[in-house]
């Protein structure tokens, strides 16, 4: 009975390659927006909320149906920031417009922000490809390590 339940649970968490890729792509822009919020509005009363949102938006990955293997780090990165890095400036503008009641930092360093996002998504890809999930505290520590 336990074996059946474990297999059933794995099957519920499994998805085809295209579905895993689509799920990752769906959560990338919200994660990028949350990282922008942390960068653009440092020290505000919403800082903890924004940091938690980075984790909330993307913190797990589905296994592949059939093999029950985790996607590789390369697969995860390609289907997250690897395809969306060209939208950093648009995400910054969207975030400023969305958080209109807050004052963004004055000098926005787009190159720094793109590099932070690149490093974050590479790190996240490695963790997810190995462990399937990442913890909130791990994300918060990584953001701090990246200078946010």
What pLDDT is stored for residue 10 in this prediction? 46
Per residue of the chain (148 residues), what is the pLDDT tens digit?
444 334 445 445 566 778 888 889 999 999 999 999 999 999 899 999 999 999 999 898 887 777 678 889 999 999 999 888 889 999 999 999 999 899 999 999 999 999 999 999 999 999 999 998 999 999 999 999 999 9
Report how far residue 92's alpha carbon sits from residue 18's, in angstroms, rounded to the nearest whole number.
Answer: 28
* Residue 75 belongs to domain spanning: 2-145
Structural element, H or E, at residue 53: helix 47-57
What pLDDT is stored for residue 15 in this prediction? 66
Q: How many domains does the chain have?
A: 1
Count of beta carbons in the 10 Å neighbourhood of residue 61: 27
Angle at which helix 110-131 crosses helix 88-98, to 10 degrees, equals 100
Report how far residue 142's alpha carbon sits from residue 122's, in angstroms, rounded to the nearest whole number.
Answer: 11
What pLDDT is stored for residue 61 in this prediction? 86
What pLDDT is stored for residue 14 in this prediction? 61
What pLDDT is stored for residue 49 in this prediction? 94
20 phi-psi bin (left φ>0, alpha ψ -120 to 50, beta other):
alpha
Report how far residue 19's alpha carbon sits from residue 22's, in angstroms, rounded to the nearest whole number.
Answer: 5
């Amino acid at each position: 009975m336990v074996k059946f339940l474990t297999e059933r649970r794995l099957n519920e968490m499994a998805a085809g390659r295209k579905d895993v890729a689509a799920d990752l792509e769906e959560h990338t822009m919200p994660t990028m927006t949350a990282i922008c919020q942390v960068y653009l509005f440092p020290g505000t009363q919403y800082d903890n909320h924004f940091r938690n949102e980075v984790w909330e938006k993307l913190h797990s990955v589905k296994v592949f149906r059939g093999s029950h293997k985790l996607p590789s780090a390369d697969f995860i990165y390609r289907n997250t920031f690897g395809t969306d890095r060209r939208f950093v400036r648009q995400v910054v503008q969207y975030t400023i417009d969305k958080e209109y009641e807050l004052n963004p930092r004055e000098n926005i360093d787009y190159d720094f922000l793109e590099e932070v996002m690149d490093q974050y998504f590479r790190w996240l890809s490695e963790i997810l490809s190995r462990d399937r999930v990442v913890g909130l505290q791990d994300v918060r520590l990584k953001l701090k390590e990246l200078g946010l």
